[in-house]
Amino acid sequence: MLYEFKLPDLGEGITEGEVVKWRVKDNDEVTEHQVVVEVETDKAIVEVPSPKKGKVVKLSAAEGETVKTGQTLLVIDIEGEAADEGAKKSFSVVGSLPMEEEVLATPMVRNLAKKLGIDLLDIKGTGPGGRTTEEDVRSAAQSVKKETTDRHGSIERVPIKGVRKAIAKNLLLSQKNSAFVTGMDDADITELWNLKAREKTGADKKGVHLTLMPFFVKAAVHALMKHPYLNSSVDEETEEIVIKRYYNIGVAVDTPDGLMVPVVKDADKKTIIALASEIHELGLKARERKLSIEELKGSTFTITNYGTIGGTYATPIINYPDVAILGMGRIKDEPWVKDNAIVVRKILHLSFTFDHRVADGSEAGRFLNDVISYLEDPGLLFIESA
H or E segment to which residue 74 belongs: strand 72-77
Contact status, residue 304 vs residue 311, Cβ threshold 8 Å: no
CA distance readout (Å), 157 to 37, 144, 145, 216: 27, 12, 10, 39
Question: What's the gap between Cα 294 and its chain centre?
Answer: 12
Q: Cα separation of 338 and 341, whole Å?
A: 5
Q: How far apart are alpha carbons 266 and 248 in whole angstroms?
A: 5
Closest CA to 328 of 256, 242, 249, 384: 249
Question: pLDDT value at position 94?
Answer: 31
Which one from 33, 222, 227, 356 is the annotated catalytic residue?
Answer: 356
Q: How far is CA 210 from the centre of its chain?
A: 23
As a whole number of angstroms, the distance between CA 166 and CA 319 comes to: 12
For residue 78, what pLDDT is reported? 87
> In this structure, how many other beta carbons lie within 10 angstroms of the beta carbon of residue 366?
15
The CB density around residue 265, as the number of other CB atoms within 10 Å, is 16
266-284 pLDDT tens trace: 999 999 999 999 999 999 9
**pLDDT value for 155:** 80
In CATH, the number for domain 163-383 is 3.30.559.10
From residue 315, how far is each of 181, 350, 352, 367 by CA, in Å?
Answer: 8, 10, 8, 17
pLDDT per residue as tens digits for the range 15-55:
788 888 899 999 999 999 899 998 887 667 888 899 889 99
Specify the fold of 2-150: OB fold (Dihydrolipoamide Acetyltransferase, E2P) (2.40.50)
* Cβ neighbours of residue 108 closer than 8 Å, sequence gap 6 or more: 62, 63, 134
The question of whether 33 is a catalytic residue gets the answer no
Q: How far apart are CA 86 and CA 263, in angstroms?
A: 41
Average pLDDT per consecutive 10 residues, the chain (386 residues; last block may be shorter): 85 77 92 90 81 91 87 86 45 33 71 76 76 81 62 78 78 89 96 95 93 96 97 94 97 89 96 96 92 91 93 93 96 95 97 96 96 95 74
CA dihedral (98, 99, 101, 105) in degrees, to 10, reads: -40
Q: Where are the domains of the chain?
A: 2-150, 163-383
